[in-house]
Structure 1
Amino acid sequence: MSPRRPKTWHAQATALAVLGVSALALALVAPIPQSPLYHQFADTRALAIGRLLIPNAADVLSSLAFCAAGLAGLVRGAHAPPSQRMALRVFFIGLVLTGAGSAWYHLDPSSASLFWDRLAMCIAFAGALGALAGERLGDRAARRWLGGWLLLGASALALWVLKDDLRLYVLTQFGGFMVLLIWLRHSVRPGACALPWGWLLVAYGLAKVFEAADTSIWTLSGQLIAGHALKHLAAAAGVIPLLIALSRADRGLDQGSGGR
C-alpha cells in the first residue's frame, strides 16, 4: 500500500507560511539597491568572428546554453501530462528568453540591460514552480501558483525599477527555492510525470557558488575561464535530467499506445 499523500491544501498553506515569514523578514531590513559593482565581471575578453566583435564573449556565448535547454524542453515537454504541460511550456520559454536576455545583458552590462535578463528569469521561476505544483498538487494548484508567481515577479521588477529595491526580487528567487524544497517532500500525483527537480536545485545552488566566485575562479584557472560563464553552464546543465525524464515518459506513451 502506498503512503497516504498529504492534502494539497496543507502543502500550499505551508508554502504560503514560509513565504509570509520570509517576506516579513525582508520587510524588516533596509531596501536592497542594485550595486554598480554587480556589472563588473572578471572575464571581459572579446571574440572576433570575421568582422563581428563579441564583447565579454565567454559570458555572452555561455548564455546561449539556456536557449538550447529551453528549445529542447519545448520539444520534449510537448506531450507532458495536462497538469504540467502549460507550466512546463512557460518554464522552457522562460529559459529561451533567459538565454537571449542574458546574452543581451552581457554585451553591455548595465541595470537597463539587466532588466531583460531578470524579466526572463522571473518567467522561468514561475514556470518551474507551476510545473512542480502540477506534478505534486494538481492542475488547479499549477495554474494558481504559475499565475501568482508571474505576478510576484512583475511586482518585484517594478519595485526594483521604481524604487531601486531588490528585496522582492530576492523573494522570487530564494522563496521559490524554499517552496520547491517543501513540495519535493510530497508524492507525485497519479498520471503525472515525475521530474528530477532536485538536480535542477543542486545545479542552481552550484551556479550561485560559481557566480560568487567569479574572480577567484578566473584567477585560479590562470585566466582561462571565470565563474560567471560556469554559472550559466551549470544552471543550464541542471535542465538535462528533466529533458531525459520527459523523453523517457514520451517513449513510454508511444509504446503504451502502440506507437500512435
Structure 2
Amino acid sequence: MMDYVTNHRFKRWKRNHRIWGATATFLCCICLFLFTPTIPRSSNQHQFADVRNLLGVPNTLNVMTNFPFLVVGVLGFVFALDGSFFNISSQGEVWGWVVFYGGMIGVAFGSAYYHLKPDNHRVLWDTLPMMVAFSSLMSCLIFERFSQRTGLCCMSALLVSAILCVLHERIYNDIRFCMMFQLILPLAIPAVAFMYRSKYTHSGYWFLSTGIYLLAKFEGVTDRKLCRISTYFITGHSLEHLCLALIPISLGIMLIYRELKFQRLVDHKDRL
C-alpha cells in the first residue's frame, strides 16, 4: 500500500513538473518577444554562395535541390491517405501526416520559387510551408503520445499560429515570431518524445530526425565555407536542402516499420 501511494505521488509530481516546465518555457518566449526590439529581415540573408546560372535557371543548385522534397512529399502524401502502407491507428494521425507531407510538397515549390529570385517578398513562400510542416509534425507526436482530441487541438492552434507569424513578419517586417516558432518546435519535438512514452515502437526515428535537422542547420550556416571545401561543386545551403529531405524519408521508414506496442505484446503471448 505504501509503495502504491509513493508511486502515485511520484507520478503526480512528475506530471506537474512537466506542466510547470512547459508553462515556464511559454512565458520565457512571451517575455523574449515583449522585451526584445523588432528584428527586421536583413537583405544579407538572401545572399547565398550559389549564384550560378545553368540551363537558364538562376541559383541553379539551390533551386534544383528542392526536387527531393517534391518526390518524398507526394509519396508520403499518397501513402498517408491510402492507410495501408503506413502504420497509422487513428484518423487524426492520418490528417497530421497528410498535412506534414503536403507541407513537404509546399516546401518544394515555395523554396524553388524563392531561390529563383531571393528577396523579402518571396521568402514568405519558403517560410510558411516549412512552418506548416513543423506544426503538423509536432501534432503527429502529440497524437501518438496523448489523445486524438489533444492532437487535433494542437494542430489547429499551431497551424493558425504559423499563419499569424508569417503575416506578422510580412506586415511589420519583424521576424521574432517566426524565429521563435522555428527554434522552439524543433527543440520541443525531441523533448516531448523523450518525456512521454509512445504507443508505437521505433520511436528512435524522432531523435534521428532531430539530429538530421541540426546537421542541416549547420550546413546552412556554413554555406560559403562548404562551397570552398567542395571546390565550388556544391554549397552548404544546397546540402542543407538535401539533408532536410532525409527527415520525411526517415519518418516514412518509421511509419512503415513501427507497430503498436500492445499489439506486439499480444502477438508475443500468442506465440508462447
Q: TM-score, normalised by structure 2?
A: 0.82
Which one of the candidate residues 72, 75, 79 is aligned to 2:75?
A: 72
Which one of the candidate residues 9, 30, 41 is aligned to 1:23?
A: 30
Matched, 1:42 2:44: no
Structure 1 residue 16, shift from structure 2 partner = 4.2
Structure 1 residue 15, shift from structure 2 partner = 3.1
Q: 1:104 to 1:33 in 2, by over 3 A?
A: same
Question: Aligned partners of 1:32, 1:166: CA distance in 2, in Å?
Answer: 6
Aligned amino acid, residue 79 of structure 2: R
Which one of the candidate residues 140, 143, 146 is aligned to 2:152?
A: 143
Contact 1:76 1:243 in 2 (8 A): no
Matched, 1:246 2:249: no
Question: Aligned partners of 1:101, 1:13: CA distance in 2, in Å?
Answer: 38
Number of residues of Structure 1 aligned to a counterpart in Structure 2: 247
Q: More deviation in 206-215 or 24-33?
A: 24-33
* Largest Rg, 1 or 2: 2
Which one of the candidate residues 87, 90, 102 is aligned to 2:96?
A: 87
Q: What is the alpha-carbon root mean square deviation over aligned residues? A: 2.6
Question: Aligned partners of 2:222, 2:133: CA distance in 1, in Å?
Answer: 24
Aligned amino acid, residue 20 of structure 1: L
Contact 2:200 2:258 in 1 (8 A): no
Q: Which runs of 5+ in 1 are unaligned?
A: none
Contact 1:23 1:171 in 2 (8 A): no
Aligned amino acid, residue 77 of structure 2: L
Contact 1:15 1:182 in 2 (8 A): no
Question: Aligned partners of 2:143, 2:19: CA distance in 1, in Å?
Answer: 12
Q: Which runs of 5+ in 2 are unaligned?
A: 1-6, 268-272
Contact 2:134 2:186 in 1 (8 A): no
Question: Aligned partners of 2:80, 2:204: CA distance in 1, in Å?
Answer: 11
- SS of the aligned residue for 2:195 comes to coil
Aligned amino acid, residue 221 of structure 2: A
Q: 1:20 to 1:69 in 2, by over 3 A?
A: farther
Structure 1 residue 14, shift from structure 2 partner = 3.8
Q: TM-score, normalised by structure 1?
A: 0.86
Please give the residue correspondences for 1:176-195 in structure 2 after superposition, counting only pairs within 5 Å: 176-190=185-199, 194=203
Which one of the candidate residues 123, 134, 157 is aligned to 2:143?
A: 134
| Percentage of identical aligned residues | 25
Which one of the candidate residues 19, 39, 57 is aligned to 1:32?
A: 39
Structure 1 residue 188, shift from structure 2 partner = 3.8
- SS of the aligned residue for 2:66 comes to helix
Q: 1:208 to 1:99 in 2, by over 3 A?
A: same
